[in-house]
């Protein structure tokens, strides 16, 4: 919607009837504004305007604008459709069975809306003509503001204090703390060690005796055994060693495979 550039205190000059058709729609603040302007040109009290004539003028105006291929905002077209409907209701006598509002009621509604808009405009201009602050009436030019002097009362509880102390002592400790590295044998690691330990020995030797040096701590036992066993299976698959177990849960023996000898 275009904003009206016209100073609305200026009552627009009354144009001759034929001039009406040449007014640009852009000068209006919406369809109601246009209707109000058209109504004013009837030079009568809004209560006494001919709504039918008004509707016809509006429709003619919109028609002219559209013939000039000027883009008309949807608001104006909605109003045009409504006025066309109003016109038809006013011209055709109402049937008794008709539940729709009568043409007279619709016309009264339109008059009411026009009167209300005009009243609001008059109210706005009355408001602006009042002695306004900063225009006719003035406030204190040298205000003496209230000076606020702020003093802070600090609050802390003994708990806060102790928590702060304990917190930072603990912080100091954690900087020295180094997490215990759990030894985990990787498969590659276990395989390298087995290769190294078996060497060129073709004797059956139990796996545990190879690894006894590495089973020193109970914590490492499981990972050493698991990784070594898995690696030994891999070495068997590659045909590098033989593996033998005489009984269930018995010791696992291994030796360098003969065929593997260079």
Partner 1 sequence: MSALSDDHSEIVERHLRVLEALLFASSEPLDANSLLTYLGEGANIGELLLTLQARYADRGVNLVRRGDRWAFRTAEDLGFLLRRDEQENRPLSRAALETLSIIAYHQPATRAEIEEVRGVATGKGTIDLLMEAGWIRMRGRRRTPGRPVTYGTTEAFLDHFGLETLSDLPGLDELKGSGLLSGRLPPNLQIPLPFDGAALRDDEDPLDPDDPGGDEDQD
Q: Which of residues 136-175 bind partner 1 (CB under 8 A)?
A: 136-158, 160-173, 175
Binding of partner 1 by 96 (CB under 8 A): no
Min. distance of Cβ 117 from partner 1 in angstroms? 6
Residue 227 C-beta: closest distance to partner 1, Å: 31
Tokens 């606020």 found at: 148
For 16, 29, 93, 154, the CA distances from 83, given in Å and listed in that order, are: 24, 18, 17, 73
Judged by CB under 8 A, the residue of 37, 56, 75, 189 near partner 1 is 75
Q: Which stretch binds partner 1 (CB under 8 A): 29-37, 50-58, 202-210, 252-260?
A: 29-37
Q: Contact 254/241 with Cβ under 8 angstroms?
A: yes
Token pair listed for 130:
């009042």
In the bound complex, what is the minimum distance in angstroms from residue 149's beta carbon to partner 1? 5
* Contact string (CB under 8 A) for partner 1, positions 98-117, x = contact: -------x--xx-xxx-xxx
Distance CA 253, CA 126 (A): 112
| Least distance in angstroms from the C-beta of 217 to partner 1 | 22
Looking at the Cβ atoms of 128 and 184, the one nearer to partner 1 is 128
3-state DSSP call for residue 129?
Answer: coil
Of 174, 1, 32, which Cα lies nearest the Cα of 113? Answer: 32
d(CA 193, CA 211): 9
Number of residues interacting with partner 1: please give it, by CB under 8 A.
Answer: 78
Residue 238 binding partner 1, by CB under 8 A = no
Alpha carbons 31 and 1: distance in angstroms, whole number: 11
Q: Which of residues 175-194 bind partner 1 (CB under 8 A)?
A: 175-176
Q: Which of 91, 133, 180, 259 binds partner 1 (CB under 8 A)?
A: 133
Do the beta carbons of residue 211 and residue 172 sit within 8 Å? Answer: no
């Amino acid at each position: 919607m275009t904003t009206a550039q016209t100073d609305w205190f200026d009552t627009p000059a009354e144009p001759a009837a034929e001039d009406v058709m040449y007014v640009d729609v852009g000068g209006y603040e919406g369809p109601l504004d246009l209707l109000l302007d058209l109504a004013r040109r009837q030079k009568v009290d809004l209560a006494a305007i001919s709504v039918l004539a008004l509707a016809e003028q509006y429709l003619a105006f919109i028609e002219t604008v559209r013939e000039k291929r000027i883009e008309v905002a949807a608001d104006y077209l909605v109003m045009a459709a409504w006025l066309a409907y109003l016109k038809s209701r006013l011209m055709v006598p109402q049937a008794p069975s008709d539940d729709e509002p009568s043409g007279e009621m619709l016309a009264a509604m339109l008059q009411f809306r026009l009167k209300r808009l005009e009243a609001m405009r008059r109210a706005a201009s009355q408001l602006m003509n009042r002695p306004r602050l900063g225009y006719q009436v003035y406030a204190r030019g040298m205000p003496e503001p209230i000076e606020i002097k702020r003093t802070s009362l600090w609050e802390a509880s003994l708990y806060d204090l102790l928590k702060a102390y304990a917190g930072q002592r603990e912080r100091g400790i954690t900087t020295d703390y180094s997490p215990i590295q759990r030894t985990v044998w990787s498969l590659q690691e276990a395989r390298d060690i087995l290769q190294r330990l078996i060497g060129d020995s073709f004797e059956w030797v139990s796996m545990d005796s190879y690894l006894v040096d590495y089973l020193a701590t109970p914590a490492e036992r499981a990972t050493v055994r698991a990784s070594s066993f898995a690696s030994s299976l891999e070495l068997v698959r590659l045909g590098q060693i033989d593996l033998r177990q005489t009984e269930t849960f018995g010791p696992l023996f291994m030796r360098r495979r003969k065929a593997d000898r260079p």
